[in-house]
Amino acid sequence: MERVPPEKCFHCGLSKRQFEMLKIKVEESKQRITLMESEFLQSTLYTENELDDTQNEMHKLHSKYERLEQSHRELHEVNSDLEERILDICAAYEKEKQALNREVVSISQKLLDAKFEINKLEEKNVSF
């Protein structure tokens, strides 16, 4: 069996310098992983905060939408009631207008009859 010189590792055969270089690379990798974990956690927290903010904003907008929708329904009911009242008032005025027109026609007819009677009486008066 061949013996490895003391400057090389008995188990893996690496020199002390190679071992130290690997050790440095492992340490650098650990630091990069730690940094990446930290960045990932910060990113996750930022994303969670953004999500919370967005959900809060969405809740506010949804509440506002529901209030607007309710106001719209109430306004629509009020407008419908007002429209019905206006239509009822218009129908009543239309009936009143028709009644007044009939009365005007009736009075006009009576006026013509009276004028005719006056003319007849004046003619009779002139002939006497």
Tell me: pLDDT of 44 over 70: yes
> Distance between CA 127 and CA 116 in Å, rounded?
17
Tell me: pLDDT of 1 over 60: no
The pLDDT > 90 percentage for the chain reads 79
Assess contact for 8 and 14: CB atoms under 8 A.
yes
The pLDDT > 70 percentage for the chain reads 95
Per the document, the length of the chain is 128
Query: What long-range pairs does 1-8 form, CB within 8 A, spacing at least 24?
Result: none
Given this model, what pLDDT does residue 3 score?
54
Q: Which helix (H) or strand (E) holds 117?
A: helix 16-127
**Phi, psi angle pair for 11, to nearest 5°:** -85, -40
Given this model, what pLDDT does residue 33 score?
96
Assess contact for 42 and 34: CB atoms under 8 A.
no
Tell me: pLDDT of 110 over 60: yes
Tell me the two tokens of residue 104: 């005007």
Given this model, what pLDDT does residue 89 score?
98
pLDDT in tens, 99-108: 999 999 999 9
